[in-house]
Amino acid sequence: MNNVIAEDMKNAMKNGNKFELSVLRMLKSALQMEKINKKRELEDSEIISVIKKQVKVRKDSITEYTKYNKLDSVADLEKEIEVLNKYLPEELSEEEVNKLIDEIFNEVKPTSIKDMGNIMKIINEKNINADMSLVSKIVKEKISNL
């Protein structure tokens, strides 16, 4: 995956796409930091995890910028997320998330909100690509309806 990102950086340079190039440079920097922290080359799953973190940071920033009506910054962040999403597997739909959570509920058989941490841990171990705030919300709802 690192090769794909490096190739896309070269193409962005050749095409004069400064915005995409800057996003890819930020991503490359984040990947480099993670590589240094782990003291080894990153596996694809770890690269995806770094990209997800970058998307999450931008989504959190969008929330803050929206509060203060900085819509030009929001638009830029949305474009950055669009660039980063190209390197992520397709996100699960709400229906697919519900199905996955139902399967985990059948395995774990939660009895109270205390079981939420265990359920979220299992979901994270499955390394799915889904909006984790949506997953958390659905798990809370299902647990509260027990």
Over the stretch 35-82, which tens digit does the pLDDT of each residue have?
Answer: 999 999 999 889 988 998 999 999 999 999 999 999 999 999 999 999
pTM listed for this prediction: 0.76
Same domain membership, residue 67 and residue 49: yes
Q: What is the CATH number of the domain that holds 61?
A: 1.10.1510.10
Task: Kindly provide the b/e burial profile for residues 115-142, where b requires at least 16 CB atoms within 10 angstroms of the residue's own CB.
Answer: bbeebeeebeeeeeebeeeebeebbeeb
Same domain membership, residue 59 and residue 32: yes
pLDDT at 129: 77
Q: Is the pLDDT of residue 127 over 90?
A: no
Same domain membership, residue 69 and residue 40: yes
Q: What is the CATH number of the domain that holds 104?
A: 1.10.10
Same domain membership, residue 104 and residue 60: no
Same domain membership, residue 109 and residue 76: no
Same domain membership, residue 29 and residue 47: yes
CA distance 71 to 62: 9
Over the stretch 77-109, which tens digit does the pLDDT of each residue have?
Answer: 999 999 999 999 888 888 999 999 999 999 988
CA 61 to chain centre: 14
**Considering only CA atoms, which of 83, 60, 61 is closest in space to residue 72?**
61
Number of domains comprising the chain: 2
Same domain membership, residue 30 and residue 61: yes
Range of the domain at 129: 94-144
CA distance 79 to 61: 13
